[in-house]
A and B are shown apart, each in its own frame.
Chain A
Amino acid sequence: AQSVTQPDIHITVSEGASLELRCNYSYGATPYLFWYVQSPGQGLQLLLKYFSGDTLVQGIKGFEAEFKRSQSSFNLRKPSVHWSDAAEYFCAVGAYSGNTPLVFGKGTRLSVIA
């Protein structure tokens, strides 16, 4: 069955500290991987995506993610967190072959403290 696991429901980091959000997936075909962010009152915004090529992908707002096929992981990282990064982050997987529904993880809520 297709699934995405985000093991951390809530993470709190200090402003300026580094961040890593974990994501593991189970998918029967070649995956197409995404990280979305939802700020309060906003819709889901795409941070970055991976479908082929370099396994380290750069996204918006200084985020990056690394695809590790052997570990079925797609962890999101940021070297220095800003207070405006406080939001909920969703990892999702879809089929590489085309437009198909996405399977989401439960999300990780990030709090940033001074």
Chain B
Amino acid sequence: EAGVTQFPSHSVIEKGQTVTLRCDPISGHDNLYWYRRVMGKEIKFLLHFVKESKQDESGMPNNRFLAERTGGTYSTLKVQPAELEDSGVYFCASSPERQVGYEQYFGPGTRLTVT
């Protein structure tokens, strides 16, 4: 079974540019999460999809961030326009539908550097 995959692994962009991160969850996982880790800080939740619907987007920092999940499969996270403080590692995770003993399966992350 393939794990969670993320693309690209690393992106370097200039302030003001646009970047789109992609996450492919484990097949059949309805729940998809985005997290971010800024250097030296904890991993913080951004948003949660259940299938194609946004369940919780309370962690999204501002309206420069736009997340979508097409057909309940892969998800994209667009940052437009990027600012210096957006630099960090963006993790995606997925989990099956609600069940006791669940765990979230994480991807390798995308390292975003804004210069």
Contacting residues, chain B, for A31 (C-beta < 8 A):
none
Q: By the criterion CB–CB under 8 Å, are A44 and B91 in contact?
A: yes
A residues neighboring B (CB under 8 Å): 4, 34, 36, 41-46, 49, 51, 90, 92, 94, 96, 98-107
Distance in Å: Cβ of A92 to nearest Cβ of chain B: 8
Residue interface bits B73-115, CB-to-A below 8 A is 1, else 0: 0000000000000000001010101111111111111000000
Q: How many B residues touch A, CB cutoff 8 Å?
A: 31
B residues neighboring A (CB under 8 Å): 3-4, 31, 33, 35, 40-45, 48, 50, 56, 59, 91, 93, 95, 97-109
Q: A43-B91, A99-B95, A99-B98 are in contact. Are A105 and B106 (CB under 8 A)?
A: no
Contacting residues, chain B, for A99 (C-beta < 8 A):
31, 48, 50, 95, 97-98, 102
9 residue pairs bridging A and B, Cβ less than 8 Å apart = A42-B108, A43-B4, A43-B108, A44-B91, A46-B103, A99-B95, A99-B97, A104-B35, A104-B44
Q: By the criterion CB–CB under 8 Å, are A104 and B42 in contact?
A: yes
Contacting residues, chain A, for B106 (C-beta < 8 A):
36, 43-45
Contacting residues, chain A, for B3 (C-beta < 8 A):
43
Bound: A98/B103 CA distance, A: 10
Contacting residues, chain B, for A107 (C-beta < 8 A):
42-43
Bound: A102/B104 CA distance, A: 9
Q: A41-B108, A44-B91 are in contact. Are A49 and B103 (CB under 8 A)?
A: yes
